[in-house]
């Protein structure tokens, strides 16, 4: 974790803010938010999938990370996406209350990054579509940060 927070993330932030952002911005964006308690501003490079004006972020090992918990109550965020600064509202989706929406987010994310389907035991059909039952099963234990862009 030290390497990521002290070396890799600052380097990726620098590239995403530079004219060379195209090297990474197809898969990564920068999300800026404020801590709930401290009010401190944080900016993280994050892998994402986009569906029109909605950005889906699936935190890896969410039980070991805290950043996404700052977005649980509908937090305003700034997104740097492909060199453009955008505003939005982030909400965290988790549990059985919004399984359909999480399954849709997973499907969008898996279409973008098919190799991640293995991490969730989601099977792909011959046509490239993902098994609906697998998506619904995975949705019940997945955390998704959903950013609605303005």
What does the pLDDT read at residue 80? 97
Q: pLDDT digits over 77-122, tens only?
A: 999 999 999 999 999 999 777 899 999 999 999 999 999 999 999 9
pLDDT at 60 over 80: yes
* Residue percentage of the chain with pLDDT more than 70: 98
Number of structural domains the chain divides into: 1
* Domain span at 45: 2-149
* Residue percentage of the chain with pLDDT more than 90: 77
Alpha carbon separation from 4 to 21, 51, 84 (Å, rounded):
19, 28, 24
d(CA 80, CA 127): 33
CATH number of the domain that residue 130 is part of: 2.30.110.10
pTM of the shown model: 0.91
């Amino acid at each position: 974790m030290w390497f990521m927070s002290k070396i890799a993330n600052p380097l990726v932030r620098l590239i995403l803010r530079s004219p060379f952002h195209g090297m990474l911005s197809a898969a990564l964006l920068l999300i800026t938010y404020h801590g709930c308690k401290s009010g401190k501003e944080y900016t993280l490079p994050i892998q994402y999938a986009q569906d029109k004006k909605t950005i889906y972020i699936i935190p890896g090992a969410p039980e070991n990370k805290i950043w996404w918990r700052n977005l649980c109550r509908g937090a305003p965020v700034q997104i740097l996406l492909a060199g453009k600064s955008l505003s939005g509202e982030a909400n965290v989706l988790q549990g059985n209350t919004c399984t359909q929406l999480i399954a849709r987010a997973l499907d969008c994310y898996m279409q973008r990054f098919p190799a991640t389907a293995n991490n969730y035991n989601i099977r792909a059909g011959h046509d490239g579509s993902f098994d609906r039952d697998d998506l619904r099963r995975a949705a019940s234990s997945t955390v998704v940060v959903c950013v609605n862009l303005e």
